[in-house]
Structure 1
Amino acid sequence: MGLLDKDALELSGMLEAREVSAEELMRATLERIEAVNGAVNAVVSLRDGDALLAEARAADATPRKGWLHGVPMAVKDLANVAGIETSMGSPLFAGQIPKADDVMVARMRAAGALFIGKTNTPEFGLGSHTFNPVHGATRNPYGLDRSAGGSSGGAAVALATRMLAVADGSDMMGSLRNPAGWNNVYGFRPSWGLVPSEPAGEMFLHQLATNGPMARSPADIAALLEVQAGWDRHQPHGLEAAPYVSRIKADVRGRRIGWLGGWGGAYAMEPGILALCEGALAEFATMGCVIEPVAAPFPAQKLWDSWTTLRSWAIAGNLAPLLADRKMRAGLKPEAIWEAERGIAMSAMEVHRASAVRSEWFRRAAALFEQYDALILPSAQLWPFPVDWAYPQAINGQAMDTYHRWMEVVIPVGLIGLPCLNIPAGFGTNGLPMGMQMFGPARGDLGLLQLGHAWHEATNWPARRPPILP
C-alpha cells in the first residue's frame, strides 16, 4: 500500500513519529494531483507548488498544533480560506479572494491543516451534480463519463483518487451523502448545530444545511468532526463537541436497524439499487445487528412539499439581493433563479405550515428511534448518470418535475437535521459504486459512527481503488 492509500489518522501518526515528513507528504500529494486531477477535475484553485512545499517544510520545523499538522487539505469551494479564491462555482464571484477563514476552516487550520486549494462544487452548491461555468465538471473516477454527484463532488472524488486523505463538505440536500455514495467513500452529515456555519446574515430561522466531514474511514470522519464541531459563541444555535475517536470502537451486537427501502414505493429507484443495498444489509446481520423492514413512516408527498417550501425560502434569503440586480441576475443559472423566485413569492403562513409538517415528522422519527438504533435508505435513487446531463429527467420512466426531485430520498434526514453517515454498499453490475444513508436520532452522532466503524472493519469498500489510479 502506497503512502497516499493510508488513512488520514495513520498519516498523522507517521508525521508525529517522523516516519514521513510533511514535505514528503506534500510532494506525493502534488504528484498525485498532477497525475490524476486532469481526468477528474476535482481539485480547483490549486496553489503554487513551491509555496506549498515551503509551508510543509515549515510545518516539519514547528511543534505539532493538532492531529492535522502537516496534512494537505483542499476546502469545498463554498467556504472561505484566506488567500484562496472562493468562486462558489459562479462567474459572479470568480476571482474573489477572502482575507479571513470561515469558522470551520479556522478550526482546521488551528489543528495544523495545510490548505492546498479548493474542491469543486456546483454553482452555489445547488444540485447534486458537480459542474459550473467557472471550473467545469467533476468526473466520477469509477466511470469518467459519469457524474460525481454533489454538491461535495470534488471532495468525494479527491478522496477516492487519493489526492486527499480527509476532506470537508456541506449538506443541504444530500451533498455529503450522494457524492460519497457515488465515489465509494464515507460522508457524514452531523446533527444540525454540531458543526457551525458562519455568523453572518440571518442566523435564527434556517436549519437545513450543515458542514461536515468526509473520509475513507469512519475513524477519520470522527477525528475531523472533533476539529470541526463545537458551539460558536457568535451564533444563537449550536451543540458542544464531544470525543468521538476514543469511543468509536464498540460492540454493536444487538443494535436494531430498520430498512426503509424505497419508502413504500414512493421513491422511484433504478434497477439494482435496492437489491444491492438489501444484500449489503446482510453484513450487518453477520455483525450481530438485528435488521427489520420498516414501512414508510410518513407521507412522502408531505415531506416533499415541506422540504421544497423551506429550501426555496432559505435559498431566496441568500440570493434575493443578486436577483434584484439586473446584471447579477443575468449571471445566475436558471435553477437558482427558479428557487429564489419561488421563495420570494411565499407567504409567512406557507412557511409556517411547512415547518409544522417538519415538526410532525420530527416527532414521528423520534418515536421510531425508541425502537431502532438506526434507519437505512439508499443514498441515491439512480446510478451515476452521464456527466454531460444537467440533471436526470426521469427515473424508470417517472418524470422528475424539478431539477432536484431525483434526490428526494435524502430529504427525510435533512428536513429535520438528523445525523447521517453514508456507508459504501458495494458496486453494481455496471461497475459503479452505491452507498446507503444510515441515520439516527438527533444528537446520536456517536452511535452512527460506531456502527459505521464496525461496518468498515467488516467490509472496507474504499480499498477498491478507482481504475484510473496508477
Structure 2
Amino acid sequence: MSEELTRKSAAELLADLSARQLSAAEMMQATLARIEAVNGAVNAVVALRDPEVLMEEARAADDGPVRGPLHGLPIAVKDLVNVAGIRSTQGSPILRDFVPGRDDLIAARMRAAGAILIGKTNVPEFGLGSHTFNPVYGATRNPYDPPLSCGGSSGGAAVALATGMVALADGSDMMGSLRNPAAWNNVYGFRPSWGRVPSEPMGDTFLHQLATLGPMARSPEDLGILLDVISGPDPRQPHGIEAAPVAPVRPADLRGRRIGWLGDWGGAFPMEAGILDQCLGALRVMEELGWVVEPVEPPFDAEAMWESWITLRSWSVAAGLAPLADRRDQLKDSARWELDRGLAMSAMEVHRASVIRSDWFRRAAELFDAFDALVLPAAQVWPFDVDLPWPTEIAGRAMDTYHRWMQVVVPVSLIGLPCLAAPAGFGKNGLPMGVQMFGRRGSDADLLAIGAAWHEATGWPQRRPAM
C-alpha cells in the first residue's frame, strides 16, 4: 500500500484526503517509509523532522476539518526557504544551525492550505550553480544514475518527486534552477510569469526582477494545484499579479497551434551530442499531436543578452549576499565572484544592462504575435559527474564562468516569461532530458494546458527510477 500511494498523482491523493477516503496518517506513513527506503541513496530530503511528531500532526489533520487544497499532504520545502522550527541552512555553514521562528511567505501559504511540512529539500550553497551540493549536507544524486548530478538549485525537490518521496514540491528559478533539475530527473517544473508568485517581503522589493518561486510535480495538472496555492499578490510588495486560478488544468486542443523551435540559437549555445536530437524527437511527437512546429532564426544577439544577464544577476546576488561581505572567506568561490562583481558595479552599468533586457522583451513580444509558444532545450549538457563542480567545456568550447553552461535558460529568465520545463524522454545514454516551452507574459494557464496535452500523450514521469 505504501509503494502504491507514492506512485499516485498529487491530484489523486488530495482528492482522497479531502474525501476522507485516505487518512493523512496513512499518507504520512507511506511518505516516511519511502524516504527511509530511498533517501540514503540520493540525499534529496534533509532536515527531516521527528517522525513521531509528524505522525501526530497527521492524526490531528484527520481529526480536524479539511483546511485547504493541500490538506494532509506531506511536503518538504526547498532549503532556500525559511520554515518555522526546521533547520534552514541555504546549504551554507554560516547558517548551519539556524532554526527560524517564522515561515517565509511561500511556506506559510502551503501550511495554511493544509500541507504538513516535513523537512527540507537539498540545494547548492545559497542556490548558486545548477548542481546540488553543499558543505552542510553534501551532494544530491541523480536517481537514474546516482554517480551523476541531479542539477539544481531545486535538485533535492526534483529527486524527491522522481523517487516518490513527495507528490508536490516547491522550487525557485533564477537561472534554470527548477528547469534544469526537472529535465535531469524526468519531472515537470514551472517558472511562472514574474510577479505571479511573490517573493519574501524583505529588503528591496522594486528593483530585482530575475528570480521567482514556482511549483514542481510529476504532471502539469499537479503543477496547477500548487501554483494556485502559492500565487497571488502580497500587499507589502509592488509588482504582484492578480491572476485567475489555473486548476484544474485540462489538456489543450493542440491542432493548429504554432510552436517556434529555437534549437541552439544559431550555434550560440553549444550542446553535448544527442541533446538536440532528443529535443527534436519531442518536437516530432508535438507535430503528431497537431502542432505546427517551425524553426526560428536567432531573434536576438545571444552575447548581448548574456552580458545583460550576468550584470543584472551579479547585482542581484550581491545585494543578497552583501550582509555577509565581512565573512566572504566562508563563502564558496562562485558566491565570492558574484559578490565582488556586484559590489563593484556602477548604476549606469546596471541601467545599460536593463536597456538590453528591455530590447529583448520587445522583440520577444513580436515573436508571440506569430507563435503560441517557443521551445528550447532545458539544458546544454547531460547530467555530469556528481563530484565535478561545474562543466568547464561543452563540445570543445570552454566555459568562461561557473554558470555559462546553463546559458540556454537566459532568454526566459532575463525578461520574466512563464516557462514549462517538460520531460522529453531518455537519450541513448539512458539519461533524462527535457525542453523549455515558454510564452508571453501572463500565458501561464495556456502553457500548463499545452503541457497537459503533452503529458497525456507521453507520460514520461511514469518511467520511475529503479529504486
Is 1:10 matched up with 2:12? yes
2:286 to 268, 276, 284: 284
| Structure 1 residue ranges without an equivalent (≥5) | none
Q: Distance in 2 between matches of 1:107 and 1:34?
A: 27
Q: For 1:67 and 1:335, locate their aligned partners in 2 and report how far apart those are by CA, in whole Å.
A: 39
**Separation in structure 2 between the aligned mates of residue 392 and residue 43 of structure 1, nearest angstrom:** 25
SS in 2 for 1:143: coil
Provide the rounded CA distance (Å) in 2 between the counterparts of 1:266 and 1:247.
Answer: 35
Aligned to 2:440: 441
RMSD after superposition:
0.8
**CA apart distance, 1:247:** 5.2
Q: Which residue of the partner structure matches residue 384 of structure 2?
A: 385
Describe the superposition over 1:138-197 as per-residue Cα deviations: whole angstroms up to 9, x where unpaired.
000000000000000000000000000000000000001000000000000000000000
Normalised to the residue count of structure 1, the TM-score between the two structures is: 0.98
Q: Which runs of 5+ in 2 are unaligned?
A: none
Please list the CA deviations of residues 266-310 of structure 1 after superposition, one character each: whole Å capped at 9, or x if unmatched.
100000000010011111111111110001100110010000000
Provide Cα deviations, 1:437-461, integer angstroms capped at 9, x if missing partner: 0000001101100100000000000
Indicate conservation of the 8 Å contact 1:252/1:450, yes or no: no
Distance 1:247 1:13 in 2: 15
1:172–1:210 contact (8 Å) kept in structure 2: yes
Q: Alignment partner of 1:145: what SS?
A: coil
Equivalent in the alignment of 2:334: 335
1:180-329 correspondence runs (5 A): 180-246=182-248, 248-323=250-325, 325=326, 328-329=327-328
Q: How far apart are residue 408 of structure 1 and its match?
A: 0.3
Give deviations 1:43-89, integer Å, cap 9, x for gaps. 00000000000100000111111121000000000011111011000
Partners of 1:227 and 1:432 in 2: how far apart?
32
- Tell me, in whole angstroms, the C-alpha distance in 1 between the residues paired with 2:341 and 2:32: 43
Which aligned runs of 4 or more in structure 1 are off by greater than 4 angstroms?
none
Q: Which residue pairs with 2:52 in the alignment?
A: 50
| Secondary structure of 1:418 counterpart | coil
Q: Residue in 1 aligned with 2:418? A: 419
CA distance in 2, matches of 1:122, 1:304: 22
Change (3 A) 1:33 1:247: closer
Closer/same/farther in 2, CA of residues 73 and 247 from structure 1, 3 Å limit: closer
TM-score (norm 2): 0.99
The CA deviation at 1:351 is 0.5
- Return the letter of the residue paired with 1:349: M
Asked if the contact 2:224–2:248 (Cα under 8 Å) also holds between the matched residues in 1, the reply is no
User: Which residue of the partner structure matches residue 395 of structure 1?
Assistant: 394
Deviates more, 1:295-304 or 1:18-27: 18-27
CA distance, structure 2, for counterparts of residue 120 and residue 338 of structure 1:
22
Asked if structure 1 preserves the Cα contact closer than 8 Å seen for 2:170 and 2:213, the reply is: yes
Measure, in 2, the Cα distance between the counterparts of 1:69 and 1:19. 13
Alignment correspondent of 2:129: 127
- Secondary structure at 1:29 match in 2: helix
1-structure distance, mates of 2:52, 2:88: 21
Equivalent pair of 2:225/2:248 in contact (CA under 8 Å): no
Give the CA deviation at 1:331. Answer: 1.0
Q: Which residue of 1 aligns with 2:87?
A: 85
1:368 aligned residue: 367
Q: Deviations over 1:206-255 (max 9, x none)?
A: 00000000000000001100000000001111101322123533322211
What is the distance in 2 between the residues matched to 1:224 and 1:242? 14
1:115-135 CA-partner distances (Å, limit 9, x unpaired): 000000000000000000001
Partner of 1:349: 348
2:148 is paired with a residue whose SS is strand
Asked if structure 2 preserves the Cα contact closer than 8 Å seen for 1:248 and 1:446, the reply is no
